[in-house]
Structure 1
């Protein structure tokens, strides 16, 4: 797939003495939700959102209901959006253009696999091979989506990630979790990474997003996961892949020779692959869908049009129509592309703690001065930047803004510098409009 050349983007340095890429992240400004104070994901969610929710990213994002700054020249939001929660954001600047119950903690379904991938992708080279043993597939929930992994067969990590992204395979998730030291260890790593991303509405119980007691996330957090993940080249590749060949089971062929055939898998993201009632969305580049009994349908998508890259997350549409989550996402994308550059944002997607910077004169909670719920407004010394994927022009996303190559950043002549808030999304984000 070809990608248009990106425009040159300014990169500003961060005020800091030294940043170590191996240090632990700084403490969060807001405590992560505990299972005891999170709504149960094993029961139906309440019909209405809480009166007060997290204000990470701005005070208005913590209010129930729709938040948007309508003014002259700003298009009206689509009226036929029935989702319990949704958000429209600029993927590169982080501006939240509009939102509805953005911080409502709901069951996330397989959209949680975005956090799983963002956490584990860097740990295993794509050509690593793994032979599946029965224990790897233990504990998969009944009725789970599967890609078709077989015991005693060998798969590459690349194969497994295709299974995660295209078929939302819980079997692939469990094999990768086994390679990572087990489900418990993987859940712990995912919760730690969510905290590092300041996704404080999220509590992980099952790495595949299968319904579990206390497992919650929010439209805001899912958008953070997608934004962080899309900084990684492998993540972008898997998220934008429409179809691929997947290894099958080894069988005896002619003359007793063992033969292993493959079968085609197609991405279940209907805005990427299309369906009878949903066309491929112009400029779509991923990222992940989900559907469970308790979560309903959930989806986070990223698309580019006219030089703008937007992220839209939709959780649990109340309309029962076929593919409704994709239809509502498409309508919100359409609105966002028309409104971009005209509408004043109602909040922002905060950066990871390791790169946390506020707009000049404001903190991540969207209010002037002081420290808000999202962090301190200055880079956390000794914390590890999350996003540093190579850009199409050879630069490295937000990594170049930090000026880090796995080492340290030295304060320049005592000057005050700010991290550039733009997160360029290179390569496969700016993809062709049809698979």
Structure 2
């Protein structure tokens, strides 16, 4: 009897031992398999950490190397390259020196006339009667005679395409009553636009001595404009009058039926000229404006604008040696822009700012209200530049915010700044911070309970501070 009992005990012990052994094996397997992913992850993280590049950000992201101004070898008195949406200046070679702009002056005449038409003060079909001053104007012209009648649109095209001095003066006199009155409008507009060096003596860009006798501007102060000012003026044209290319991109224009030949656009770089034998060597992809200029004092000048891949650039070259040279140098400037830069959205619209995701609004149901930027932020940056270093600086309004508030209420501003590798300037843009929802005022009972809670909280903190 005792032997059987002892055998049963031994058998039971063996079964327990076997169970423990199996359990140990299973547990060991579980531990091993559970550790494999963790070890692999740890190994991967270690590999990632040890292989992080120590190259500059510009090389890590494949950013292009921006050529220096010297490397462009520009043969100009001055040059500017500007992106009109952001206003960024991508290239500046002596761009602030006031120089005679020749017929680039007509860009201001074009802007003012187009703006007055846009405002409804004049119509494109209004008929202009040519006066003595216009009829006697020399230089590039369409040979208007005193008493001739043409529409504003006809004269405008003759000015924009053929750089016709007589058509330009006829428009100036029609709009303002006299060319001198129009010149005052031009100088006032230049000041409004922020053109720092520009001074206009007439509507055409002619030297004062070449204006008709009896109509010459008194004082002897000639027309001057820096390349920077020309770029600013062009920026206003392309942004305020996006239909500008309806005129400036015309290759030819038949002004009168009796004219033996049509007016030929002085801008040889028009993209449409790629199939024209005489001009195809100058044709430039995306180019649709803007204005040439030439006098003996100014040399050869050109304000050009082209758009590629959704980015428009404005170039200005002044003081080139020949009419061909102004287009050769413009190509260098525009290629510099399109080959090396891109317009890129750095911050999308309706973005939150880290650390200022909400603001406090007094007397609101929910005192913590979400806020976002009201618009996106785009910069023109070197292609491939690292954009991870953008910084944000928030300035909340000094006024106390009190419910109720409408969705979209401005509560402050955020300034985004960014200095890309390859550029000397720090890019900045300020946008508004706005509420993302309506903010309702809390009821009287909730306000009462909140006030009581604040009272006892302040009382408790005051007592606690005693000790």
1:264 & 1:238 partners in 2: Cα distance? 15
**Aligned-pair distance for 1:266?**
1.6
The structure-2 alpha-carbon separation of the partners of 1:109 and 1:341, relative to structure 1 and needing over 3 Å to count, comes to same
User: Which residue of the partner structure matches residue 195 of structure 1?
Assistant: 191
For the aligned residue pairs, the C-alpha RMSD in angstroms reads: 3.1
> Which of these residues, 170, 175, 181, is aligned with residue 185 of structure 1?
181
Q: Which runs of 5+ in 2 are unaligned?
A: 1-62, 117-121, 209-220, 345-375, 378-406, 416-427, 431-467
User: Which residue of the partner structure matches residue 154 of structure 1?
Assistant: 149
> Is the 1:75–1:338 Cα contact (8 Å) retained in structure 2?
no
User: Which residue of the partner structure matches residue 73 of structure 1?
Assistant: 65
The structure-2 alpha-carbon separation of the partners of 1:418 and 1:167, relative to structure 1 and needing over 3 Å to count, comes to farther
Larger mean Cα displacement after TM superposition, 123-132 or 159-168: 123-132
TM-score by length of 2: 0.53
Matches within 5 A, 1:34-53: none
The structure-2 alpha-carbon separation of the partners of 1:341 and 1:135, relative to structure 1 and needing over 3 Å to count, comes to closer
The structure-2 alpha-carbon separation of the partners of 1:99 and 1:237, relative to structure 1 and needing over 3 Å to count, comes to same
> Is the 1:92–1:421 Cα contact (8 Å) retained in structure 2?
no
Q: Which runs of 5+ in 1 are unaligned?
A: 1-70, 249-259, 344-358, 361-410, 423-435
User: Which residue of the partner structure matches residue 168 of structure 1?
Assistant: 163
TM-score by length of 1: 0.57
Greater RCO between the two (CA within 8 Å, min separation 6)?
1
User: Which residue of the partner structure matches residue 99 of structure 2?
Assistant: 106
The structure-2 alpha-carbon separation of the partners of 1:158 and 1:72, relative to structure 1 and needing over 3 Å to count, comes to closer
SS in 2 for 1:190: helix
User: Which residue of the partner structure matches residue 328 of structure 1?
Assistant: 329
> Is the 1:245–1:262 Cα contact (8 Å) retained in structure 2?
no
Larger mean Cα displacement after TM superposition, 148-157 or 188-197: 148-157
> Which of these residues, 253, 258, 264, is aligned with residue 244 of structure 1?
253
Matched length: 272
2:323 & 2:167 partners in 1: Cα distance? 27
Q: Within the alignment, does 1:215 sit opposite 2:223 as a pair?
A: yes
SS in 1 for 2:195: coil
> Is the 1:283–1:305 Cα contact (8 Å) retained in structure 2?
yes
Matches within 5 A, 1:257-296: 263-272=261-270, 273=273, 275-276=278-279, 278-296=281-299
Q: Which has the larger radius of gyration?
A: 2
User: Which residue of the partner structure matches residue 253 of structure 1?
Assistant: none
The structure-2 alpha-carbon separation of the partners of 1:312 and 1:154, relative to structure 1 and needing over 3 Å to count, comes to same
Q: Deviations over 1:295-329 (max 9, x none)?
A: 11111000012222111000002xx3551011000
**Aligned-pair distance for 1:421?**
7.3
SS in 2 for 1:152: coil
Larger mean Cα displacement after TM superposition, 181-190 or 72-81: 72-81
2:414 & 2:195 partners in 1: Cα distance? 22
**Aligned-pair distance for 1:197?**
0.3
2:224 & 2:159 partners in 1: Cα distance? 20
Between Structure 1 and Structure 2, the one with more helix by share is 2
Q: Deviations over 1:77-102 (max 9, x none)?
A: 45331111101111222111111011
User: Which residue of the partner structure matches residue 302 of structure 2?
Assistant: 299
